[in-house]
Amino acid sequence: MKTLLNEAQMAKSIIASLSDSLRNEVLNAMAEAFRANKNDILEANKLDLQNATSPKSTDKANTTQITPLSKPMLERLKLDSKKIDLMAVSLKEIASLKSPIGKITEGWENYNGLKIQKISVPLGVIAIIYESRPNVTSDTAGLCFKSGNICILKGGKEALHSNKAILKVLHNVLESFSLPKSAICFIDSREETESLLKEDKFIDLVIPRGGEGLINFVVKNSTIPVIKHDKGVCHLYLHKDAPKDMAFQIALNAKKDKPQVCNSIETLLVHKDFVATKDLIEVLKENEIKILACEKIANKFSALNLEVLKEEDFYNEYGDNILNIALVDSLRDAILHINKFGSHHSDSIITEDYSTAQTFLNEIDSACVYVNASTRFSDGGEFGFGAEVGISTSKIHARGPMGIDSLTTYKYQIYGNGQIRKS
């Protein structure tokens, strides 16, 4: 661990001082290398999938116990030719972005003639701890490299072979440009993770993204500042004037498109005067979405034989085709519900009333708040960032999808001509 951290520190000044044109050349070369090495990555991913579907399997190459994954989690783990092409596209998009480094965000002259500039700089060394999705390895490495940072990656054991194959491609490209491989570091054990979280002298920031257990583990054990990418308990609220077709289309997209991702909704709130609640529930059930209903809805539509939810269900991130549905009496009740039970990730309202929409936008305490759109757009790629390190549910430093600008801090550069401060 100390060797890895020392190498990361040595690489920090090298990577931070690269020209943006060279960064872009490297990122584009990485993108092409993914396409050229597609078969190797797919073979590694096939091994991960085999391990993940064998009951309580032991990965012979790593002697690690792997618990079989659910179908949604397997979908997150699985790579195919198209997904690898998309990884390459993301790196090219990151390369095309304007550099976040060296921006003068403010400048002024003080009372005695000092010229002060506030300028953006890399954060330094960032540890990113994540689960399942192998493309996170390439996305986060690319974002950190573009923003002049060193990354230390810790992926889930279920994706170990895929992550190592991706890392090999990235390291080969770095070596071809005579750049240190330690610009992108990787660890692969829980013991190393626990040790890593205490290395506040070497690491500037920790970003955990994954399930509630992972987030809690990192927050509890880290002596390094943490930006949480917490669970996504997202909501869709249908106001009384919500257009039926729009409401149905958005509800289906926000739940069924990819139920395993953090920007999928877990609770649908419906105004008591919305006229198509019964029809909506039937459509959701036809799309194989399991409904957990509040008592009001279950009693009102007893013929649908809906399972009644418990209050604690409102806190659940199901990651599956399961959806809470509850009636609310007013916009105010919807806002209070979301701010109480939500995870401050992404929430949306469907309404045709401007005043109602603005109240929702202003009073929902979440990173991403939508009007008449699916929460599924909470994504760095959709926001134009090329990719994302994750979606921050924290409020300090960065919030929502984190792209390259969120991986910078600032310093003050001060120009003088002999000034001294008098007491």
Mean pLDDT of 266-279: 97
**Confidence (pTM):** 0.90
> At residue 56, does pLDDT exceed 80?
no
Q: 142 and 192: one domain?
A: yes
Q: Give percent above pLDDT 70 in the chain.
A: 97
The CATH number of whichever domain residue 138 belongs to comes to 3.40.605.10
Same domain, 251 and 363: yes
Residues 304 and 223 in one domain: no
Q: Which tokens go with 418?
A: 């002999």
Q: Whole-number mean pLDDT of the chain?
A: 94
Report H helices in 37-125.
38-53, 71-77, 81-96
pLDDT tens sequence across 60-69:
555 555 667 7
Q: Are residues 140 and 221 in the same domain?
A: yes
* Contact predicate 10/3, CB 8 Å: no
pLDDT at residue 395 above 90?
no
pLDDT score for 59: 53
* Residue 421 included in any domain: no
* Whether the predicted pLDDT of 408 surpasses 80: yes
How much of the chain exceeds pLDDT 90, in percent?
A: 86
Question: Across residues 178-190, what is the average pLDDT?
Answer: 94
What pLDDT is recorded for position 68? 74
Sorted by sequence, the CB contacts under 8 Å of residue 304 that are 6+ apart come out as 278, 281, 282, 285, 291
Establish if 89 belongs to a structural domain: yes
Q: Strand runs (DSSP E) across 94-238, as ranges? A: 104-109, 115-122, 125-130, 150-154, 184-187, 205-209, 234-238
Domain that holds residue 192: 2-229+389-414
- Domain total in the chain: 2
Which tens digits make up the pLDDT trace of 125-164? Answer: 999 999 888 999 999 999 999 999 999 999 999 999 999 9
